[in-house]
Structure 1
Amino acid sequence: MTEAALTSLPAKVVDQAIEWSIRVTYSQADDATLQAFERWLAAAETHRLAWARMQSLGGRFDAVPASLTRKTLEKLPETRLQRRQMIKLLSLLSATGITAWTTHATKPWQRLMADFDTQVGERRQWTLADGSLLELNTDSAVRVRFDTQVRDIELLRGELYLISGKDPAAPHHRPLRVTTSLGQFEALGTRFNVRLYELTCRLGVTEGAVRMQPETGDAATAHVGEIWELSRFDVQRRPGTAQEAATWRDDLLVARDMPLADVLSELGRYRAGYLGCEPNIAQRSISGNFNLKNTDATLAFLAQAHGLQLHSMTRYWVRLSA
């Protein structure tokens, strides 16, 4: 899309796209709302262009701290939104009261604090100063702070896989830790996966061991092959294998009797826009290994394999029905 095409959209249409994004993508829209949205979307080509531009932002906005508002607006030149419209977007989302807008894990301004980050659908690797290999999954961000005493990797959002380095240049042992707002994970010569949710973190250990320390609870140690969940208050062993938890590194989603709504939620991490299904099929059990590299193809296969209908108004709005 050219710059001329982007700037030619009427401000009123962009405003409407902002409001529809809140009502349809991040609220529990009823059938009447969805039908009204479909009519608006089909009414004009400018509506479809504005909607596509809104969804291509690739992140959710919630109330950005005042000190970061200007930086946030200036850091998003790819949106081509007018400053007035971006401020309106932030204000509207702040006023919705929807839980998703107020959680730590969904604040896109965290990217401004990050040393390394990925966009929606992107996966990247970096070799850190101590020789550790850091890999970030889709829509993730970390801040790295190494000093003379400790090697600290703060997971701000999303998911990481870490292969601990031997830190050969350090004069003495420096603990290697992944920290979050809920607690921390200390590598004990290991490879492990950490995913940050709203109220918990999931840990999968594929080699060695990891010491877990919740913010206010007792510490515990996770061993190779195990899955653990850390909250602010405790840690608990969970079913499953660490290898399956890290299959995203091979561009795979492994589902074992997973509700359809959860499968779509996972696939939705790798694409911009709305992805959902009718409530009456949300709990349908799904099993299989699904390609994360091409989610459009995966959705088409999923629909065909389970006798479902795939509705796509744009690549940014997809819904499954019976």
Structure 2
Amino acid sequence: MSLPDFTATERPIVALAPMAGITDLPMRDLVAGFGADLVVSEMVASGELLTARPGTREKAELGLERAATSVQLAGRAPDTMAEAARQIADQGAKVIDINMGCPAKKVTGGLSGSALMRDPDLALSLIDAVANAVDLPVTVKMRLGWDDTNHNAADLSKRAEDAGVRMVVIHGRTRCQFYKGHADWDAIANVVKAVNIPVLANGDITDISSARTALAKSGAAGIMVGRGIQGQPWLLAQLIAELEGTQPPETPDLIPLVQTHYQAILAFYGPDLGLRVARKQLGWYMDRCQTPADLRGRILRSKDSADVMQMLPDALIPQTTPEAA
């Protein structure tokens, strides 16, 4: 089994980043439907997956049969990570990604995510455990390092490659930066030079201009887009077309797109939870359209999904014409 055939075209890889509470199954399906080389699930805590806490196993189980989909695992115990990897592999996972980049305090406080970059030996033990547990491609997503005094992504990526990792993704910030400042795409070039596997550049890629600049500065084999996808799930398809030198698809009609996305969220989570989960997605679409504040407020406060569906057409008429992504 292999990663998607990234050699089928000379253009750079274009992938969707994992984002907690954002890249759920409805969002991944929507993005993949427009076009993407790879989409990555929300982070799944390996320990919680094994204890089957409500909502965690579902994230791993649902969508595993989708092509070009990776499931991201987080944890700090090699045995637990290995068993979680075996379970999702048995359930049909195609690719497993190891989270070494999440900066959230609740993750790093448990010595997972980007905290692993402070303990490279532990990080490598996790990689070894997962790679030896499954016959699947294993990838790693990390940051430049913990802070500006310790940029160790190049060394850690080389060690990961030697352990069998097939691709690394580098967010061009340290953990201590969180999402402040600007991603340092130049620094990603050090990782590219250190390894012979594909490296994807991540961070602050929101349009074709930033995509091309990130690729030029980093020398990376591709890009991974995160927050730039909010409110425009067709962005990756547009970037792919631009990088191929073909005509980008037009921005779709938002009204049927958002209504379909909303219904998919309700179906996935159920009507009550779905109503709440959908609010952030609807908010990003309405940001794009500059929806009047009073209408926006009524939609986001509504406790009736049918009323929301009825209000969406008026909310999604752009007050000004936004520039194409």
TM over 0.5: no
Pick the structure with greater CA Rg. Answer: 1
Higher helix share: 2
TM-score (normalised: structure 1): 0.29
TM-score (normalised: structure 2): 0.29
| Greater RCO, CA 8 A, separation 6+ | 2
